[in-house]
């Protein structure tokens, strides 16, 4: 692996995002929405209105919870509002959070090869002595960096906003709980990598960015399943489960890289731009 070349490609791709307002502007909406409006609004509502209307559904789920990490944490909280706030921030929001690295990296990685094809620069790249593995690695790193930056930013904002708005209720830091550390440090990067590998691979095989982006969007489906599991109380995240998901994703990524290494050919990449 030629690090100089990998970095040169990654740096060029990151700078291209900066130059394209249409790409980075929608990406900034995510941290604002998920990092500020969602936790701020939710906690503010719980403080002022309390558990009313539809929110009562959640209390029913919480009451029926079996013995678990969450059950023990909830039993320590005196009021229903605190229980709902704790559950919503530490559990419900987690899958939504996972959408950030996926969306951020998908936009960039779907564009990676398909965008080069559309702009006629892929031929220029393929005519250089750059090894395909280096080119691919550069594309992956270039998509990882903005995703990592955006996820960290959103998480940081959510921590500050949630604890600030929730302080009158809790009088202490209540978010994040222990689940978040493997989520942030293992699952998020691994999931970004999965999204990027899938997207870059699709991007390498189709001719246009549009097609790549459409196909790559399918990766959101498992996240929706996870969100449903949280809301219904069927599959609740705990530290062990989060770590397990991270490890499974790591294995999936290793497999994807092996497949890509075997399937990606210079000539195939070149001819895919003519189709």
The first and second tokens of residue 15, run together, are: 């700078």
Among 25, 64, 221, 274, binds other proteins (CB under 8 A): 274
Nearer CB in complex with other proteins: 12/71: 12
Contact status, residue 73 vs residue 194, Cβ threshold 8 Å: no
> Omega of the bond prior to 229 within 30 degrees of 0, cis?
no
- Report the C-alpha gap between 76 and 70 in whole angstroms: 10
Nearer CB in complex with other proteins: 121/214: 121
- Report the C-alpha gap between 188 and 100 in whole angstroms: 9
72 near other proteins, judged by CB under 8 A: no
57 near other proteins, judged by CB under 8 A: no
263 near other proteins, judged by CB under 8 A: no
**Per CB under 8 A, which of residues 175..234 are in contact with other proteins?**
none
CB neighbour list of residue 4: distance below 8 Å, 6 or more residues apart:
none
The first and second tokens of residue 169, run together, are: 């209720």
Rg (alpha carbons) of the chain, rounded to whole number: 21
The first and second tokens of residue 99, run together, are: 């959408």
User: 3-state DSSP call for residue 225?
Assistant: helix
**Per CB under 8 A, which of residues 9..48 are in contact with other proteins?**
9, 12, 15-16, 19-20
Binding mask 130-169 for other proteins (x = CB under 8 A): xx--------------------------------------
SS3 content of the chain, % helix, strand, coil (to 5): 80, 0, 20
- Report the C-alpha gap between 118 and 209 in whole angstroms: 8
Among 56, 71, 72, 265, binds other proteins (CB under 8 A): 265
- Report the C-alpha gap between 82 and 115 in whole angstroms: 48
The torsion angles phi and psi of 50, rounded to 5 degrees, stand at: 85, -170
Q: By CB under 8 A, how many residues form the interface with other proteins? A: 27
- Report the C-alpha gap between 84 and 90 in whole angstroms: 10
257 near other proteins, judged by CB under 8 A: no
Nearer CB in complex with other proteins: 131/238: 131
125 near other proteins, judged by CB under 8 A: yes
Nearer CB in complex with other proteins: 100/206: 206
Q: Nearest distance from residue 122's CB to other proteins, in Å?
A: 9
Binding segment toward other proteins, per CB under 8 A, in 4-12, 47-55, 208-216, 224-232: 4-12
Binding segment toward other proteins, per CB under 8 A, in 72-80, 83-91, 120-128, 228-236: 120-128
Among 53, 66, 78, 120, binds other proteins (CB under 8 A): 120
Give the footprint of other proteins on this chain (CB under 8 A). 4-5, 8-9, 12, 15-16, 19-20, 119-121, 123-131, 265-267, 270-271, 274
């Amino acid at each position: 692996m030629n690090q100089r070349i990998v970095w040169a490609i990654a740096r060029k791709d990151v700078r291209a995002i900066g130059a394209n307002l249409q790409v980075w502007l929608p990406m900034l909406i995510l941290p604002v929405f998920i990092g500020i409006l969602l936790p701020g609004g939710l906690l503010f509502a719980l403080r002022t209105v309390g558990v009313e209307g539809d929110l009562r559904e959640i209390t029913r789920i919480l009451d029926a919870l079996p013995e678990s990490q969450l059950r023990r944490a909830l039993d320590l909280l005196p009021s229903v509002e605190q229980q709902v706030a704790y559950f919503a921030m530490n559990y419900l929001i987690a899958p939504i959070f996972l959408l950030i690295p996926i969306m951020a990296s998908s936009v960039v990685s779907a564009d990676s090869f398909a965008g080069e094809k559309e702009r006629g620069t892929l031929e220029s790249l393929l005519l250089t002595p750059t090894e395909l593995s280096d080119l691919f690695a550069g594309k992956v790193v270039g998509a990882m960096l903005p995703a990592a930056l955006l996820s960290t930013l959103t998480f940081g904002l959510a921590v500050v906003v949630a604890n600030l708005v929730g302080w009158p209720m809790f009088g202490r830091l209540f978010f994040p709980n222990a689940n978040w550390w493997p989520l942030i440090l293992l699952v998020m990067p691994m999931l970004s990598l999965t999204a990027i590998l899938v997207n870059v691979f699709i991007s390498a095989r189709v001719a246009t960015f549009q097609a790549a982006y459409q196909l790559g969007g399918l990766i959101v489906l498992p996240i929706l399943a996870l969100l449903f599991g949280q809301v219904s109380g069927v599959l609740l995240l705990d530290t062990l489960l989060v770590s397990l998901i991270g490890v499974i994703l790591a294995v999936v990524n290793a497999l994807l890289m092996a497949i890509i290494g075997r399937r990606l050919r210079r000539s195939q990449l070149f001819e895919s731009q003519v189709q």
